[in-house]
Amino acid sequence: MALRAVGAVLTVVGLLLFAYAFAVGAQKGVIGSEKQWTGDAVAVLAGWFLLMIGPALYFGKTPSSIVQAVGEAREETG
């Protein structure tokens, strides 16, 4: 039950980070900078990571298409 709560929180935080990054990007006209890391670029990366991890923790299993792809890749490599 605790993992589901953590997954839900991570998903919500990920969505908020994504929304922040796109709002700042729309205001500036660009996300990030070529010369240095900016807060909006870090927010996009962190938000994307949390959006990948959060639902996996919430639902508690890996989608079957990914399981099949990993299984096929393992068979090919030995």
What count of Cα atoms within 13 Å lies in the side-chain half-sphere of residue 16? 7
Number of domains into which the chain is organized: 1
The pTM of the whole model exceeds 0.85 = no
Which whole number is the average pLDDT over 4-26? 90
> What domain range includes position 37?
2-77
Give the residue from 18, 16, 3 showing the smallest Cα distance to 53: 3
Residue 78: Cβ within 10 Å count? 4
56 DSSP assignment: H
Distance separating alpha carbons of residues 17 and 12, to the nearest angstrom: 9
pLDDT digits (tens, 9 = 90+) for 17-75: 999 988 988 888 777 777 888 888 889 899 999 998 888 888 887 667 777 877 777 77
